[in-house]
Amino acid sequence: GYWIGQSDWHCDAGLGRPGGVASLTWGRAVIAFDEPGFPTEFTVLLSDCDGDFERSLRAEPILGGQ
């Protein structure tokens, strides 16, 4: 997928959002789940524009009562 945001830097081309609004601040995103069932940890890989994946976010589920 893609992420779209707002920043002072921008890509050479815009990427459209739902509703027809375009942004020059965007990149690719890939979500990799650790397990097929719920709940599970996952990692999100992020790129700027259409470049290489250079950042990642790690997430762990927090369930009520634990």
pLDDT tens column, 19-66: 777 889 999 999 999 999 888 999 999 999 999 999 999 999 988 765
Contact status, residue 25 vs residue 5, Cβ threshold 8 Å: yes
Please tell me whether the peptide bond between 39 and the residue prior to it is cis, using omega within 30 degrees of 0.
yes
CA dist 45 and 53 (Å) reads 6
Where are any strands of DSSP class E within 1-66?
A: 2-4, 15-16, 22-23, 26-33, 42-47, 53-59
**What's the whole-model pTM score?**
0.75
